Structure 1
Amino acid sequence: MTSPGFSSVSPLSRLSPSSPVRVGLVGLSARGGWASRSHLPALSRLKGYELRALSASSEASARAAGEKYGVPLAFGSTGELVRSDEVDLVVVSVRVPLHREAVLAALDAGKAVLCEWPLGNGLAEAEELAAAADRAGVRTFVGLQARSAPPVRYVRELVAEGRVGEVLSTSLVASGRGWGPTFEPSGAYLLDERNGATMLTIPFGHTVDALTMALGEFTEVSATLATRRPVVREAGTGRAAPMTAADQVAMSGRLASGAVVSAHFRSGLSRGTNFHWEINGTDGDLVVTGESGHLQQAAVTVRGGRGTERGLTALPVPARHFAVPELDELRAVPSYEVAYNVGAQYARILGDLTEGTAHTPDFAHAVRRHRLLDAIGRAAATGTRVTV
Structure 2
Amino acid sequence: MGARERTIGVGIVGLSATGGWGAGAHVPALSAAGGFELRGLVGGSTTSARAASEVHGVPAYRSVERLAQAEDIDLVVVTVKTPRHRELVLPALAAGRPVFCEWPLAVDLGEAEEIASAARAVPTFVGLQGRSSPTFRWLAGLVSDGYVGEVLSATVSSTVTEWGGPVAQRMLYTLDRTLGATMLGIAFGHAIDAASMVVGDLQDVVATTAVRHPHVRLGGGDRLVPMTADDQIAVSGRLPNGAILSAHQRGGTAAGSSFSMVIDGTAGTLEVTAPDHPHVVPVLVRGARRGEPLTTLTRPDDPYRHLAQTPIHSLVHAYAGIGHTLRGGPRTVPDFAHAVRRHRLLDAITRSAETGRRIDL
Q: TM-score, normalised by structure 2?
A: 0.96
Q: Is 1:119 aligned to 2:108, yes or no? A: no
Q: Secondary structure at the match of 2:249?
A: strand
Shift of 1:273: 7.6
| 8 Å Cα contact 2:33/2:317 also seen in 1 | no
Q: Is 1:279 aligned to 2:263, yes or no? A: yes
Percent identity over the alignment is 49
| 8 Å Cα contact 1:92/1:115 also seen in 2 | yes
CA change 1:20–1:272 in 2 (3 A) is closer
**1:287-345 CA-partner distances (Å, limit 9, x unpaired):** 011112x2221322000111221x310012221xx2xx3x44434xxx50x21111100
Q: Is 1:222 aligned to 2:206, yes or no? A: yes
Q: Is 1:243 aligned to 2:216, yes or no? A: no
Aligned length: 360
- 1:316 aligned to 280, 283, 298, which one? 298
Q: Give distance in 1, aligned partners of 2:55 and 2:62.
A: 15
Shift of 1:160: 1.3
| 8 Å Cα contact 1:59/1:75 also seen in 2 | no
What corresponds to 2:36 in structure 1?
49
| 8 Å Cα contact 2:132/2:332 also seen in 1 | no
What corresponds to 1:384 in structure 2?
357
Shift of 1:81: 1.4
| 8 Å Cα contact 2:129/2:318 also seen in 1 | yes
What corresponds to 2:282 in structure 1?
299
Shift of 1:73: 1.4
Q: Is 1:79 aligned to 2:52, yes or no? A: no
Shift of 1:158: 1.1
Q: Is 1:182 aligned to 2:166, yes or no? A: yes
| 8 Å Cα contact 1:63/1:75 also seen in 2 | no
| 8 Å Cα contact 2:158/2:191 also seen in 1 | no
Q: Secondary structure at the match of 2:312?
A: helix
- 1:64 aligned to 38, 51, 62, which one? 51
Q: Secondary structure at the match of 1:25?
A: strand
Q: Secondary structure at the match of 1:279?
A: strand
The correspondence of residues 1-388 of structure 1 with structure 2, limited to 5 A, is: 16-70=3-57, 72-134=58-120, 137-271=121-255, 274-292=258-276, 294-309=277-292, 311-319=293-301, 322=302, 325=303, 327-331=304-308, 335-336=309-310, 338-388=311-361
What corresponds to 1:5 in structure 2?
none
**1:244-272 CA-partner distances (Å, limit 9, x unpaired):** 00000100111111110110011034528
| 8 Å Cα contact 1:57/1:77 also seen in 2 | no
More RCO (CA 8 Å, sep 6+): 1
Q: Secondary structure at the match of 2:313?
A: helix
Q: Which amino acid is 1:278 matched to?
A: V
RMSD between aligned residues: 1.5
CA change 1:261–1:54 in 2 (3 A) is same
| 8 Å Cα contact 1:189/1:195 also seen in 2 | yes
Q: Secondary structure at the match of 2:288?
A: strand
Unaligned runs of 5+ in 2: none
Q: Which amino acid is 2:299 matched to?
A: V
**1:358-377 CA-partner distances (Å, limit 9, x unpaired):** 22211111111111111111
Stretches of 4+ moved more than 6 A in 1?
none
Unaligned runs of 5+ in 1: 1-14
Shift of 1:176: 2.6
| 8 Å Cα contact 2:270/2:285 also seen in 1 | yes
